[in-house]
Amino acid sequence: MNPKNMNLQSLNPQELTRATFKSITFDSLYIFFIKLYVIVVDYIS
């Protein structure tokens, strides 16, 4: 068990993409809801 192998295993590309994808979708959803909220508030007032 050398440390280099363990590092490569923990930085497995599939896990990395999944984590990035999750954060991207969460951020874009968050921004989308903020824009939607602003539009609705503008429409009501």
Per-residue pLDDT tens listing for the chain (45 residues): 555 555 555 667 777 778 777 777 888 889 999 999 999 999 998
23-41 per-residue burial string, b: 16 or more CB within 10 A, e: under 16: eeeeeeeeeeeeeeeeeee
Tokens of 15: 């896990």
- What's residue 7's pLDDT? 52
- What's residue 5's pLDDT? 52
- What's residue 44's pLDDT? 93
- What's residue 40's pLDDT? 95
